[in-house]
Amino acid sequence: MAKKPKKQQKPQQPGGTPATVALTAAGVDYTVHAYDHDPSHPSYGEEAAEAMGVSPERVFKTLIADVDGTLTVAVVPVAGSLDLKALAAAVGGKRAAMADPAHAERTTGYVRGGISPLGQRKKLPTVLDDSATAHPTICVSAGRRGLEVELAPSDLTTLTEAILAPIGRG
């Protein structure tokens, strides 16, 4: 049985996560979706889609890859996987591999399963799968497990200075 998500608008309290703080500061329209995270679920992204009752094609996971020695953010639908060759090509690189999780956590300031493309500790090159533009809104991590933010793909692209490219594999 799917858990009923708790839906909230912009956080009223000062603070929030670095992602929601960045969105609020930018004046972007967004909705926060909170749900009870189940640590035994095999996929953070699929859990989010199920809990929110949203199509997995609209829920995007944030992955950190190493492209020729540079940490790079890849944002792809949870329904698929990341094409590392396509990611490298999108940023003009030759080779890409998934980053060491501990290095990704230290660099972004977020924990695995809660890494948001927004409000990261260090600004990293970002690539958003171009399938995002097929939807009026998409969901990405809001900066912790059990918390997603829904926003327009164009706002995510602008705020992260993302490149749009076909980096996802269905």
Long-range contacts of 79-82 (CB under 8 A, 24+ apart): 79/49, 79/55, 79/170, 80/168, 80/169, 80/170, 81/168, 81/169, 82/167, 82/168, 82/169
pLDDT at 15: 52
Give Cα 3 distance to the centre of its chain: 21
pLDDT at 40: 85
Residue pair 149/119 in contact by the 8 Å Cβ criterion:
no
Assigned token pair, 54: 């949203």
pLDDT at 46: 87
List C-alpha distances in Å: 159 to 117, 145, 154.
9, 21, 9
pLDDT (tens, 9 = 90+) of the chain, 170 residues, equals: 444 444 444 433 345 899 999 999 999 999 999 998 888 888 888 888 888 999 999 999 999 999 999 999 999 999 999 999 999 999 999 999 999 999 999 999 999 989 999 999 999 999 999 999 999 999 999 999 999 999 999 999 999 999 999 999 98
Q: What is the pTM of this model?
A: 0.89
pLDDT at 10: 42
Burial of 77 (0-12, 13-18, 19+ CB in 10 A): buried
